[in-house]
Amino acid sequence: MPTARGLTVPDLPEDPAQYLEYIKALNLFETASYSGADQGRTRQYQEEAGRVALQSQFSDYGEYLESLEMTAEVKAFDSFHFPRIAQLTQRSNQFNLRTVRYTEQEIAELAEDENHLTMYFTLRDRFGDYGLISVAVLDKLEDKTIFISEWLMSCRVLKRGMEEFIMDEMIRAAGKNGFDMVVGEYLPTAKNKMVEDLYSRMGLQSMGNGRFTVRVRDYIMHETYIRRR
């Protein structure tokens, strides 16, 4: 059985009936390792296949979203999630309004700073758990104004209503903390054009130069098929 540069060329038996047993005996296709990441990716593919199959049963997209039975969790940054939050800020490019990168230590400092409101979001549906998929940081400014200095989201959950859900939650957080105005900013990069009109679509008014604003009391909440858990 000759080998060359890592290639194995088996000398097959003369009898074709013996091929299968011969190949099995060589262990050429034995899996040496199967990591947790491999298992996770396989699960994600299976879950997404289930979603695609379900969507094909509906002509109305809203009915499809409702059938997913989506639930989201909204919480302030905590030490357990610091690594994942920092990772998202480092890797997210497309759905990223300002594309600010943070280290894990900087995320920890934000969480402890009373001048910021920090929020992370998870999403789950009937097929599985997407995990932590979005991060937002709101800076407390003077004169009852709060500024969205960080908002990014995994593209895996696009077209689920999660953008609207998150915007609504940021407005609620601003109101609960005594702020009257919310300001957002879009800083264009080579990769984030998909969110250039996001704030306009969410109902904020353009101030020019990539900035948008809305008064908390004037903001109209969106209808989504996502329930907060």
* pLDDT tens digit at each of 229 positions of the chain: 555 555 666 766 665 555 565 565 555 555 444 444 455 667 888 888 999 999 999 999 999 999 999 999 999 999 999 999 999 999 999 999 999 999 999 999 999 999 999 999 999 999 999 999 999 999 999 889 999 999 999 999 999 999 999 999 999 999 999 999 999 999 999 999 999 999 999 999 999 999 999 999 999 999 999 999 8
Q: How many C-alpha atoms does 24 have within 13 Å on its Cβ side?
A: 5
Q: Cβ neighbours of residue 172 under 8 Å, at least 6 residues apart?
A: none
**In terms of C-beta density within 10 A (0-12 exposed, 13-18 middle, 19 or more buried), how is residue 225 classed?**
middle
3-state secondary structure of 123: strand
- Does pTM surpass 0.85? no
What is the rounded CA–CA span in Å between residue 182 and residue 141?
10
Name the packing angle between helices 82-91 and 104-112 (round to 10°).
120
